[in-house]
Structure 1
């Protein structure tokens, strides 16, 4: 495992025992986004990563998933979607990834009525 992989896992993930699920697509997308931020030049501009071979991306994201499996995160599939169980995405890069990339994840965009129901549950507790 490279230091690069360790840094990503430290910066962006927390292993849990609560059955949390994160889709593999989310982990891979976050990793690629995190890598693009780290490749930023000193002026703060993102480096053009479009010349990279997509095979390199696949190898690197596979290494991240292998590192997660070694830490006790389990691969699982539900309704045709690949997940990892026992992982939570954490840290400021995650919030930035969601906002900047307009990423809805497998959970989709919440409907207003869902938010109202959450408010009712929160205030009733």
Structure 2
């Protein structure tokens, strides 16, 4: 497991026991966004390392991020054909930046201006 994966988990993930769900796509997108903020440009190998194992691969072929999350007790589950990671919440200021800068709609739809301010405040407080 690489050090950057653990840094990402410490900065952007809170592991819970309450059954919280985050789609694999959202977690992957946040990870890519987080990495892009730390590197001026990622080479092709770096991107492959980041995304490998997050696109429905069998659990024995999971990439470094999913393996690290599993090591923290996060499980992959399928609900109505969508893959989720159960047992985590996205937290921290990078999450707010991700939602705002990536034109993110998420499972709950596109937030309005009032909700964007709340998202930034909540993410910064966590």
TM-score (norm 1): 0.74
Q: Which of 48, 54, 66 is the aligned partner of 1:55?
A: 48
Aligned to 2:73: 72
CA RMSD, Structure 1 to Structure 2 (Å): 2.1
* Structure 2, gaps ≥5 residues long: 55-62, 116-126
Aligned to 1:119: none
Q: Distance in 2 between matches of 1:98 and 1:110?
A: 9
* Structure 1, gaps ≥5 residues long: 40-46, 116-125
Aligned to 1:83: 84
Aligned to 1:27: 27
Report Cα offsets for 1:42-80 as digits up to 9, x if no partner.
xxxxx244x525533323862111111111111101111
Give 1 or 2 for the bigger CA radius of gyration: 1
Aligned to 2:2: 2
Deviation at 1:110, TM superposition (A): 5.5
TM-score (norm 2): 0.74
Q: Distance in 1 between matches of 2:94 and 2:82?
A: 24
Report Cα offsets for 1:73-116 as digits up to 9, x if no partner.
111011110001110000000000000001112222268xxx9x
Secondary structure at the residue paired with 2:84?
strand
Secondary structure at the residue paired with 2:108?
coil
Residue correspondences, number = 104
